[in-house]
Amino acid sequence: MNESVFSEWEGDIRDQQALTNPNMYNKLKKEFRSNSCLVLTDYPPGYVYSINDLNIYDVGSNYSSSTAIVVVYDIRGFNISQTRVFCDRLSFEYKARVVMPDFFRGNEFRRNSARFSASLINILGTAAPANMSELGAWLAQAGNWSQVEKDLIMVNEQLKKDRAKQLAILGFCWGGLQVLRACGQLADYYSTGISIHGASLTVTDAQNLQRPMMFLAAGNDPPLTNITATLNQKSFGNLCEYKVYPNMIHGFASAGANFSNPENVAALDDVHDRCNKFLTKILTNSGMIVASTVKLVLLTFYILVNNIYYI
């Protein structure tokens, strides 16, 4: 892999214009719809509000579903049209609330072509360690797990107050790693997670995983072999799913999505289809387990009360 791969990934990405030019967001959605065999309607957009100092992109809060999905963006940050369109579509098709917090608080890794490309090659583990210093320093400040964990807990607690009964988490690139960590260290909150072209995924984090996950990777992402082997040893290993898109490059589902490229859009259609089916499989089973547990507790209580009565 070389820098030209990521130059192509950056390409003519028009995302950063979304804030100053709202029409760009709608233009991208129109491109997406015109090149997709599955997108038949315009998705309602979300809105931004804040919890303390944390901005949140929220879409689908009007749905009656008791499920909420937390999205963790890639290192391009919060104001990326492609990533927001993904949230809009996920919410619309799954009929669930989707929230995307701004973990970087507006301090995303700024795109400087040479620096950005070299650092991205590095985050995939394919470049010399010397190139990692700038990105590593930035991640240590803006994207360290300690802060991400606090933000996730704050968002999760708010979702619970808003009557969400089941939570899932989905992330891209850097966000995919946070999902892997969250489904281990914050497993009391999440029923499942999805990593899409996740970066720097480690066997150690996989060993700590406590919830089934789906991993979707681009053709130039590191192999998932070690992650798969580790998770196959877990009791829920048979519930985990994996898919590689050999013709796609890192970023194809979020900041690097090219909605005017039919092949990219077809891959995105498949990603959404797999996400919806996987979430349905896991969350339905999880809901049934919770319901069965509640019934068992009530039955046990009933038996105990009656035994005491007859004693």
Confidence of residue 143 (pLDDT cuts 50, 70, 90): confident
Contact (Cβ atoms closer than 8 angstroms) between residue 234 and residue 203 = no
- What radius of gyration, in Å, describes the C-alpha atoms of the chain? 20
Find the mean pLDDT for residues 249-272: 94
Predicted local distance difference test score (pLDDT) of residue 12: 36
Looking up tokens 């650092």 gives 119
| Residue 159 in this model has a pLDDT that exceeds 90 | yes
CA angle 242, 104, 56 (to 5 degrees): 80
Instruction: Provide the 10 A C-beta neighbour count for residue 199.
Output: 23
What is the Cα–Cα distance from 123 to 121, expressed in whole angstroms?
6
Sign of CA dihedral 137, 138, 139, 143: positive
Predicted local distance difference test score (pLDDT) of residue 33: 66
pLDDT digits (tens, 9 = 90+) for 86-141: 999 999 999 999 999 999 998 887 655 344 444 454 444 443 344 457 777 777 77
Predicted local distance difference test score (pLDDT) of residue 239: 98
Q: Where are the domains of the chain?
A: 3-310
DSSP β-bridge partners for residue 215: 195, 242
| Residue 297 in this model has a pLDDT that exceeds 70 | no
Query: Please, what is the average pLDDT of the chain?
Result: 82
Question: Residue 77: left (phi > 0), alpha (psi -120 to 50), or beta?
Answer: left
Q: Dig out the tokens for 245 from the structure.
A: 């898109």
| Residue 2 in this model has a pLDDT that exceeds 80 | no
Instruction: Provide the 10 A C-beta neighbour count for residue 236.
Output: 14
Predicted local distance difference test score (pLDDT) of residue 135: 72
Number of H helices, E strands in the chain: 10, 8
Q: Dig out the tokens for 300 from the structure.
A: 């046990």
More confident residue, 263 or 12: 263
Measuring CA to CA, which residue among 3, 1, 6 is closest to residue 173?
Answer: 6
Find the mean pLDDT for residues 244-251: 96
Confidence of residue 309 (pLDDT cuts 50, 70, 90): low
Residues sharing a CB contact under 8 Å with residue 65, sequence separation 6 or more, in sequence order: 94, 95, 96, 97
Report helix, strand and coil shares of the chain as percent, to nearest 5. Answer: 50, 15, 35
User: Can you list the positions of beta strands (E) in the chain?
Assistant: 47-51, 54-59, 67-72, 97-101, 166-172, 190-196, 213-218, 241-245
Strands 166-172 and 213-218, bridge-based pairing? unpaired
| Residue 11 in this model has a pLDDT that exceeds 50 | no
Find the mean pLDDT for residues 174-181: 97
Measuring CA to CA, which residue among 220, 256, 259 is closest to residue 75?
Answer: 256
Find the mean pLDDT for residues 210-234: 97
What is the Cα–Cα distance from 192 to 112, expressed in whole angstroms?
35
Sign of CA dihedral 52, 69, 188, 149: negative
Contact (Cβ atoms closer than 8 angstroms) between residue 247 and residue 152 = no
DSSP β-bridge partners for residue 71: 170
Predicted local distance difference test score (pLDDT) of residue 136: 75
What is the Cα–Cα distance from 19 to 55, expressed in whole angstroms?
14
Predicted local distance difference test score (pLDDT) of residue 64: 86
Percent residues over pLDDT 70 in the chain: 73
What is the Cα–Cα distance from 45 to 76, expressed in whole angstroms?
20
Q: Dig out the tokens for 141 from the structure.
A: 């400040």
CATH of domain 3-310: 3.40.50.1820
pLDDT digits (tens, 9 = 90+) for 13-62: 444 444 545 666 677 767 766 767 666 567 888 999 999 999 999 999 99
| Residue 193 in this model has a pLDDT that exceeds 70 | yes
